[in-house]
Chain A
Amino acid sequence: MSAPDADGWQRTSPFAALFYIGKIYQAIAKNAVQSLAPLAAFLVAFQGDMKDKLAIGIGAFVLGTVILAVLRYWFFRYRITDTSVLIRDGVFKRTQLDVKFERVQAVNTEQNVVFRMLGLLTVSFDTAGSSGQEGYLPAIHAESARELRDRIRRVPKPISDAANSGEKADRRDAATRTLLRLTAGDMVRIGLSSNRVFLLVVLIGPISEYMEREFGEIVEESAVVEFLTQAQTGLMSGLAFGLLLALGILVLLFSISIAGAFLRFHRYELVADEDVLRSTGGLLTRHEHSVNRSKVQSLHASQHVVLRLFRRFRLRARQASSGRVGRGSDFIVPICTGDLLADLSLEFFPQEFSGLSLDPRAPGFERISPYYLRSRIVLIGVVPALVAIALFWNSSGIAALVALLWIPACAIIVWQKYRRYGILYGQDGLALRSGLIGFSVVAWLHRKVQRVSVTQSPFQRRRDLATVRIFLAAGSAIRIPYLEQAKAKALRDYVLYRVESSEVAWH
């Protein structure tokens, strides 16, 4: 790190080049075709045998990225003022970014293996309303990062959260409290419950199909050769082999997933620090994420099949998304018990969570109208089935009636979804439970709502029902289907009242 010049502009550590190399590779991975096209074009044009081409290609590629990374380090300057971090970045296209402390929602850090040995950190800032252009400081000393964070925290925010001053003093006594430490067992649970594994299992489908074909051939051959006993053992061993192979692949997938959990969450620790919750974790690269309690818009607890077996939940706290939809600003607790889930919801919404719960089995969840069943079964069950019969009647005749089977299958799913839906009315907010096989519960505070809408379909109008949509600053609209009309309208009017009489900032 160079000493600041007269104006206070300084460079980061030269090791920042490492950070940029990572970033460049990421960019290349994202749009591989465009970024590698020039190199590929050159290689095609270049005369020589394959080996030379490859060597030159790889060499040019590595050299190019290294030069680019070093250049980016060289041109990167930052300056810390009393109110903001100024960043000058870019080799060809120069940009200057002004990260105002008061707009910083969270300071996140990342530390890979090399940086950890050198005591360096990469700092990135979550700011409100800056889509795409996030500020980051690559490879600065851990000490200056801590200083910077303290400084940002000391800046009085223009907006104040609920029930502040008095309570804040209480919290300061408690300084930092550790809320959760994940163990190796938790890593295994996270790995086993990863959605990605199930995605990969789907990919095994084609392989099993191939194996089936193989078995088919074995059976045919055996019939021809009439070595019945021998063939049978052949079939049996083939089956056993197939099963073993499938099992092996499954074990491999789960091991990869568990290893991934270790990589991401090793020594995961969740800490409450005044009005900030902070998580650190990771085996090689240590990630640190923080979230300001008052910035959280909604809490999502989910429990799918595997997590249900483990009696664990996954919690996502969503912050105001700045235009870009997606993960980005979600604060995630990968795994926690029911008790901790209750504690954590109180951490996020300290005084306004009364009557609410993120536990899908909590008492007090109210059902939606049973007319939901009827309309859904008709809409996605009966109508498509009849259409299918009409379409295939000419070609398939009576066999077209098979489509009728769709109706009970659909009815079961709709029934299950209906049973999952539940609404929990709290003092200051609402919790909505939904799901099919697993559970997911989302809870939010009325005063943070941005917009409400009430919709009625022709069918709902006849039955005095309505669907309410709640728009929060984070994520897409939350849909509460099939409420009684009076209830839906009362809910809307109450939410509007809470929003419009709220003197507390929602962000």
Chain B
Amino acid sequence: MFDNREITLDELPAADDVEWRSLAARYVRRLQVQSLITTTVTAVGVVLLQAAPLPITQRWLFGLAWLLIGASGVSGLLWPFVSVPRKGYAIRDKDILYRSGVFWRTVTAVPFNRVQHVETSSTPLDRYFGLAALQLFTAGGSGGDLKIYGMPADVAESLRLFILEKAGASIERT
């Protein structure tokens, strides 16, 4: 029979009382490697530029460039240690939660019955580390659909199938 029990706000499941699952630990390493690669490539570029017989009079610009490269290299190596542990996700029966941010902390919730489709993707570097990104698409032009990087590839794939099934089931009901 139709049942319409009154819901008090205290009874509602709170999206904070969940056990957060952290991203794969090797995601830290993966981010560091990427930052190392980009830093190295830029550094090589600057070295070549410096060595080239170009009529550059403002030599101090190179000092600035090295400073920036050094800063971004160091932060690229250290920042993942801080940011990755702050990221995490939780799967509930009817939605997925994702938290992120070190200073500005955000918790995003996507109900499964609003998911249009689910995708996993991985770059070559991701695949080397056995990682994948899970992306959930909801309706609307607001962009920035929920994308969770740094999941173990097998977890991402099984989550994709799980969410797809949940989303499909909800479509049939409506």
Contact = CB atoms under 8 A, between A and B. Distances in A.
Interface of A: 159, 320-325, 449-458, 461, 471-477, 489-490, 492-494, 496-497, 499-500, 502-507
B111 A500 contact: yes
Most chain B CB within 10 A, of A321, A451, A452, A492, is at A451
B110 A458 contact: no
Query: DSSP class of A's interface residues: helix, strand, loop or mixed?
Result: loop
Interface in B99-156: 101, 103-114, 138-142, 146
Contact of B173 (A456, A458, A489, A503): A503
Given A321-B140, A450-B139, A500-B95, A494 B103 contact: no
Interface string B1-35: 00000010100111110000000000000000000
B105 A320 contact: no
Contacts of A494: 9, 12
A461 B101 CA distance: 13
Given A159-B174, A455-B101, A493-B15, A499 B142 contact: no
Contact of B113 (A321, A457, A471, A499): A499
Contacts of B174: 159, 503-505
Contact of A507 (B7, B108, B111, B139): B139
A490 B9 contact: yes
A452 B114 CA distance: 11
18 contacts: A323-B141, A449-B114, A450-B139, A450-B140, A452-B109, A453-B106, A453-B108, A453-B109, A455-B105, A455-B107, A476-B142, A489-B16, A493-B12, A493-B13, A497-B7, A500-B94, A500-B112, A505-B174
Contacts, number: 98
Contacts of B7: 497
Most chain A CB within 10 A, of B7, B108, B109, is at B109
A451 B146 contact: yes
Contacts of B112: 500
A275 B95 CA distance: 31
Interface string B45-77: 000000000000000000000000000000000
A499 B111 contact: yes
A497 B113 CA distance: 12
A471 B111 CA distance: 12
Contacts of B105: 455-456, 461
B120 to A, nearest CB: 19
Contact of A472 (B9, B94, B140): B140
Contacts of A507: 139
Nearest to B146: A451
Interface string B89-100: 000001100000
Contacts of A455: 101, 104-107
Interface of B: 7, 9, 12-16, 94-95, 101, 103-114, 138-142, 146, 173-174
B14 A320 contact: no
Contacts of A451: 108-111, 114, 138, 146
A325 B139 contact: no
A454 B99 CA distance: 9
B142 A471 contact: yes
Contacts of A325: 141
Contacts of A449: 114
Most chain B CB within 10 A, of A458, A471, A502, is at A471
A473 B140 contact: yes
A26 B44 CA distance: 49
Contacts of B173: 503
A487 to B, nearest CB: 10
Contact of A474 (B14, B104, B138, B140): B140
Given A493-B15, A497-B7, A458 B109 contact: no
A324 B141 contact: yes
A496 B107 contact: no
Given A453-B107, A471-B140, 11 more contacts: A159-B174, A321-B140, A322-B141, A471-B138, A475-B142, A476-B142, A489-B15, A489-B16, A494-B9, A497-B13, A507-B139
Contacts of A450: 110-111, 114, 138-140
Contact of B114 (A475, A490, A499): A499
Contacts of A503: 173-174
A469 to B, nearest CB: 8
A15 to B, nearest CB: 35
A452 B110 CA distance: 7
Contacts of A496: 15, 94-95, 109, 111
A325 B113 CA distance: 23
A159 B171 CA distance: 10
A471 B108 CA distance: 10
Contacts of A320: 139-140
B75 to A, nearest CB: 19
Nearest to B101: A455
Contacts of B9: 490, 493-494
8 interchain residue pairs of minimum CB distance: A473-B139, A321-B141, A453-B108, A500-B94, A450-B138, A473-B140, A455-B106, A325-B141
Contacts of B108: 451-453
Contacts of B95: 496, 500
Nearest to B139: A473
B5 to A, nearest CB: 11
A254 B69 CA distance: 56
A476 B143 CA distance: 8
A500 B95 CA distance: 8
A325 B138 CA distance: 15
Nearest to A491: B9
B132 to A, nearest CB: 21
Contacts of B111: 450-451, 496, 499-500
B152 to A, nearest CB: 24
A497 B95 CA distance: 10
Contacts of B109: 451-453, 492, 496
